[in-house]
């Protein structure tokens, strides 16, 4: 199991977090998505077949690109 917190500058409200949770929840292997609109970040837990690369691709596709 891998865990990572990503900075997501485009998060502005709880609706943003819900959108991210919904989309990343559909990625096979992602088991947990927690969001913090005030901190503009999300914390993820995942196992294979999910990869950090794929998670970042999905975030970019839905207009919430991660910045490191």
Tens of pLDDT, residue by residue over 34-53, are 999 999 999 999 999 999 99
**What class is the 2-61 domain?**
alpha beta
pLDDT over 90 at 28, yes or no: yes
Sign of the dihedral defined by the CA atoms of residues 26, 28, 31, 37, in that order = negative
Query: pLDDT tier at 1 (50, 70, 90 boundaries)?
Result: very high
**Mean pLDDT, residues 19-35 taken together:** 97
This prediction has a pTM of 0.92
- Statement: residue 30 has pLDDT above 80: yes
């Amino acid at each position: 199991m891998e865990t990572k917190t990503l900075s997501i500058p485009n998060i502005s409200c709880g609706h943003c977090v819900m959108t991210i949770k919904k989309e990343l929840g559909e990625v096979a292997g992602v088991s947990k998505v927690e969001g913090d609109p005030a901190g503009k970040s999300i914390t993820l837990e995942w196992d294979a077949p999910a990869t950090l690369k794929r998670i970042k691709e999905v975030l970019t596709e839905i207009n919430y690109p991660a910045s490191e």
